């Protein structure tokens, strides 16, 4: 039940985000429809990026918004439905007329369905329909018209969305554009192209004569990376959701995203899978819930579940660190255990709240450093912190060093940002921190005042310097200046800066403790990355390879155990046949193959080798061979060949 909650929230997040990012588009489309020119079809080219799978959501929300604000007439077209112009127009009319029903809902369905089938699908009929519809609303419901005209324009445009422009046949697109440009006066069309690659594709798909009919405006949607960071921001870096991802899992998910598909949808799928796995495999995941519910659930823990808690490694560590009396109590009394568990869970929750704020704060500092030793994105920082004590890493050292060289204005803005973060955070222990940071800020202001005075002095000295025109003097004075600078102690600003950095460092050491050091982290953290990789990013071919080359991995029989790369002759038939076929080139002679196979099998069964190569191969062995070969064909390693009689062709190349 928790999962469903979370999922819903998650999709809401995504949707609202997408909506926000697209609100600008709609406004513009509105503008254009008014300034329609003769013969030019207003067109929006939407560059969406390669994460094709996410586009569905985008388009859905886009059409929703359009429907609400601009026009009821929207058609979503996909390339796979439209192999020809005819199908395209059919589809288009079907969608338009259906949505007409949705809006008016006064005509009985039968009539429309019949007419849809009967109407010769052509542009003229479309125009007729359009005219009738607009007239109908004009004449029939004058009262309604007013409301509708306030919502829509006088003649609402028909918006046609091409979801995946690249996969449309160019001929179809061209024809459609040319045809509709002929009718643009009667039929206010607006096209929207969804583009995955680059806007150049329009020009490569459409010749100049066609593209000149379009009045294209380009819109860039946010990159999928930004989508991801919003998702991560809203999902992982809050204390709101009790369920958390461990470092390896997060790494795997991010890697799949960055290196395989750029699909936010798949990222969410992975997240869902993590949740399912966690709640399925971890018996204590009942406790992974909001703190409010936790009290009740802890109370209702059975003895068995208490034992489970005692078995957790992190809890054991905790017990060992306690005094002996308490140890005994923890290990024997369930009620005491429950109490402690609740307390620990609360601790954990507080830890999360603090963790997020401090992490953001640290990110403010590290994200502006040159070369980004701790990563540009907050997710990278998050991963590092999850993995180990962040302050022990080299990157942290270097970033602190770099931070000690920040200039004042940057430092001030950063401090201000940090204050904001802490103020807005839900953690309670931050009052002091805020105070301290504010103190730093006031010190800066003081410094500034002082510096202003100092500046006068330095300016005057500078003036002195300028007066002296003698070269020798100049050199000397410069050397003096250098000397003094080297020997001079740290300025006030520098000491303050060091103080600030040290303070941040202490914050980090206090709050960014990696989670494995926390007691009971197993309850809320999911950390078996292998499961995730197995199920999301499986390698079927590798599995086959292993099974064929090293059957011992699966069949734990001593006879199959082998050293090195070779397999024993007692392996299953298919392994032997496979191994033999590896030795061949592109074509395999079946007779040779059969003979080789029977040699191996006979030897394995301890028969006389003389019989093996004799003319009469045993029927059973032949049958086994046939089976193994046909299995290899099913698996796609070989196929029958007509190049030579009784030969098969190999389909793989190399060691597989």
Partner 1 sequence: GMKVRKEKTQLTVSLRRFVKKLENISDDEAQDILEEKSYVDALGICAQDAMGNSSSVSGGEVYSFQTPKRSSKMSELASELAQTPVQSVTSDRSECPEKTAKTPQSSSKKYMFLLLIHIFSVLLQSKKKEFVSTTPYRLRKRLAAPDSYLESESEYSASCSEEEDEEDQREVSTGLSGQKTPAKTKAASTPPPRNTLAKENKEDKMSNLVEEYFEAHSSSKVLTSDRTLQKLRKRRLNQQTLHDLLKKAPLAYAAEIKELNQHHESLFSKWMLQLHLGFNIVLYGLGSKRDLLEKFRTSLLQDSVHLVVNGYFPSITVRSILNSITEEVLDHIGTFRSPLDQLEFIIKRFKEDPSLELYVLIHNLDSQMLRGERSQQILAQLSSLSSVYLIASVDHINAPLMWDHAKLSLYNWLWYETTTFSPYVEETSYENSLLVQQSGSLALSSLKHVLCSLTLNARGIFRLLARYQLENKDNPSYPGLSFHDFYQQCREAFLVNNDLTLRAQLTEFRDHKLIRTKRGADGAEYLIIPVDDSTLTDFLEKEDEDV
Residue 627 in the binding site for partner 1 (CB under 8 A): yes
Residue whose pair of structure tokens reads 């002996």 in the numeric block: 324
Beta strand segments in 14-56, E: 41-47
Which residue in 60, 80, 135, 203 binds partner 1 (CB under 8 A)?
Answer: 80
> Which residue lies nearer to partner 1 by CB, 235 or 576?
576
Q: Show contacts with partner 1 in window 357-376 (CB under 8 A).
A: 370-372, 375-376
Which residue in 155, 272, 393, 417 binds partner 1 (CB under 8 A)?
Answer: 272
Residue 258 in the binding site for partner 1 (CB under 8 A): yes
Residue 624 in the binding site for partner 1 (CB under 8 A): yes
- Sign of dihedral through CA atoms 344, 348, 353, 358? positive
Which residue in 18, 177, 508, 588 binds partner 1 (CB under 8 A)?
Answer: 588
Angle between helices 123-140 and 85-104 (to 10 degrees): 10
Q: Show contacts with partner 1 in window 17-76 (CB under 8 A).
A: 51-53
Residue 622 in the binding site for partner 1 (CB under 8 A): yes
Which residue in 185, 483, 534, 561 binds partner 1 (CB under 8 A)?
Answer: 534
> Which residue lies nearer to partner 1 by CB, 36 or 273?
273
Find the Cα–Cα–Cα–Cα dihedral 607, 611, 613, 618, rounded to 10°: -80
What is the nearest approach in angstroms of partner 1 to the Cβ of residue 265?
6
Which residue in 84, 207, 283, 636 binds partner 1 (CB under 8 A)?
Answer: 636
Q: Show contacts with partner 1 in window 466-505 (CB under 8 A).
A: none
Joined together, the tokens standing for residue 578 give 């496979």
What is the nearest approach in angstroms of partner 1 to the Cβ of residue 61?
17
Whose CA is closest to 10, among 235, 346, 174, 182?
A: 235
What is the nearest approach in angstroms of partner 1 to the Cβ of residue 565?
6
Residue 592 in the binding site for partner 1 (CB under 8 A): yes
Residue 437: alpha-carbon gap to chain centroid: 35
Distances from the Cα of 625 to the Cα of 335, 631, 650, angstroms: 66, 10, 17
Residue 645 in the binding site for partner 1 (CB under 8 A): yes
Residue 276 in the binding site for partner 1 (CB under 8 A): yes
3-class SS at 608?
A: coil
What is the nearest approach in angstroms of partner 1 to the Cβ of residue 472?
41
Joined together, the tokens standing for residue 55 give 């586009």
Residue 247 in the binding site for partner 1 (CB under 8 A): no
Stretch that binds partner 1, among 202-210, 439-447, 497-505, 583-591 (CB under 8 A): 583-591
As a whole number of Å, the CA-based R_g of the chain is 36
Residue 118 in the binding site for partner 1 (CB under 8 A): no
Residue 405 in the binding site for partner 1 (CB under 8 A): no
Residue 577 in the binding site for partner 1 (CB under 8 A): no
Residue 153 in the binding site for partner 1 (CB under 8 A): no
Which residue in 132, 255, 455, 462 binds partner 1 (CB under 8 A)?
Answer: 255
> Which residue lies nearer to partner 1 by CB, 85 or 330?
85
Joined together, the tokens standing for residue 87 give 């199908």
State the Cα–Cα distance between residues 339 and 330, nearest whole angstrom: 10
**In this structure, how many other beta carbons lie within 10 angstroms of the beta carbon of residue 340?**
22
**In this structure, how many other beta carbons lie within 10 angstroms of the beta carbon of residue 468?**
12
Cβ(500)–Cβ(440) under 8 Å?
A: yes
Cβ(165)–Cβ(55) under 8 Å?
A: no
């Amino acid at each position: 039940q928790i999962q469903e909650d979370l999922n819903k929230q998650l999709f809401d997040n995504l949707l609202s985000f997408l909506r926000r990012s697209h609100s600008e588009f709609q406004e513009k489309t509105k503008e254009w429809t008014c300034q329609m020119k003769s013969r030019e079809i207003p067109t929006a080219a939407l560059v969406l990026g390669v994460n094709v799978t996410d586009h569905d959501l985008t388009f859905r929300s886009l059409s929703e918004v359009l429907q609400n604000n601009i026009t009821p007439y929207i058609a979503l077209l996909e390339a796979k439905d439209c192999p020809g112009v005819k199908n395209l127009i059919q589809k288009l009319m079907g969608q338009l007329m259906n949505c007409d029903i949705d809006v008016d809902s006064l005509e009985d369905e039968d009539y429309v369905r019949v007419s849809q089938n009967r109407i010769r699908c052509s542009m003229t009929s479309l125009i007729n329909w359009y005219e009738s519809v607009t007239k109908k609303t004009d004449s029939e419901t004058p009262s309604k018209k007013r409301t509708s005209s306030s919502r829509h324009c006088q003649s609402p445009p028909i918006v046609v969305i091409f979801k995946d422009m690249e996969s449309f046949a160019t001929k179809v697109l061209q024809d459609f554009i040319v045809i509709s440009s002929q009718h643009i006066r009667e039929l206010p069309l607006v096209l929207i192209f969804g583009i995955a690659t680059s806007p150049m594709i329009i020009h490569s798909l459409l010749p100049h004569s066609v593209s000149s009919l379009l009045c294209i405006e380009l819109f860039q949607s946010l990159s999928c990376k930004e989508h991801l960071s919003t998702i991560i921001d809203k999902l992982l870096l809050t204390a709101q959701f009790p369920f958390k991802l461990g470092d390896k899992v997060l790494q795997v998910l991010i890697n799949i995203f960055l290196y395989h598909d750029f699909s936010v949808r798949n990222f969410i799928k992975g997240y869902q899978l993590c949740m399912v796995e966690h709640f399925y495999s971890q018996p204590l995941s009942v406790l992974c819930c909001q703190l409010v519910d936790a009290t009740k659930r802890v109370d209702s823990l059975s003895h068995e579940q208490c034992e489970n808690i005692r078995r957790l490694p992190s809890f054991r560590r905790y017990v060992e660190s306690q005094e002996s009396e308490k140890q005994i109590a923890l290990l024997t009394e369930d009620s005491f255990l429950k109490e402690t568990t609740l307390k620990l869970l609360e601790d954990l929750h507080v830890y999360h709240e603090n963790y997020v704020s401090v992490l953001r704060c640290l990110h403010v500092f590290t994200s502006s450093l040159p070369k980004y030793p701790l990563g540009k994105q907050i997710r990278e920082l998050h991963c590092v912190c999850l993995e180990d004590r962040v302050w022990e890493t080299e990157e942290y050292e270097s970033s602190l060093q770099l931070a000690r060289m920040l200039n004042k204005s940057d430092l001030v803005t950063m401090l201000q940002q940090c204050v904001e973060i802490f103020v807005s955070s839900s953690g309670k222990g931050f009052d002091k921190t805020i105070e301290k940071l504010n103190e730093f800020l006031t010190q800066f202001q003081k410094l500034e005042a002082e510096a202003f005075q100092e500046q006068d002095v330095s300016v005057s000295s500078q003036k002195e310097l300028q007066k002296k025109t003698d070269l020798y003097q100049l050199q000397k004075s410069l050397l003096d200046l250098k000397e003094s600078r080297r020997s001079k102690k740290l300025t006030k600003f520098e000491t303050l800066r060091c103080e600030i950095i040290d303070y941040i460092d202490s914050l980090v050491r206090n709050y960014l403790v990696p989670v494995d050091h926390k007691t009971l982290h197993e309850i809320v953290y999911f950390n078996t990355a292998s499961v995730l990789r197995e199920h999301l990013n499986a390698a079927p071919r590798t599995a086959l390879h292993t099974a064929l080359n090293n059957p011992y991995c699966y069949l734990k029989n001593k006879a199959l155990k082998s050293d090195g790369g070779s397999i024993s002759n007692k392996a299953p038939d298919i392994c032997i046949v496979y191994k033999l076929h590896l030795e061949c080139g592109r074509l395999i002679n079946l007779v040779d193959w059969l003979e080789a196979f029977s040699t191996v099998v006979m030897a394995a069964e301890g028969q006389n080798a003389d019989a093996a190569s004799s003319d009469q191969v045993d029927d059973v062995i032949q049958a086994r061979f046939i089976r193994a070969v046909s299995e290899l064909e099913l698996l796609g390693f070989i196929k029958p060949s007509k190049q030579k009689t009784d030969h098969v062709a190999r389909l793989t190349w190399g060691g597989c």
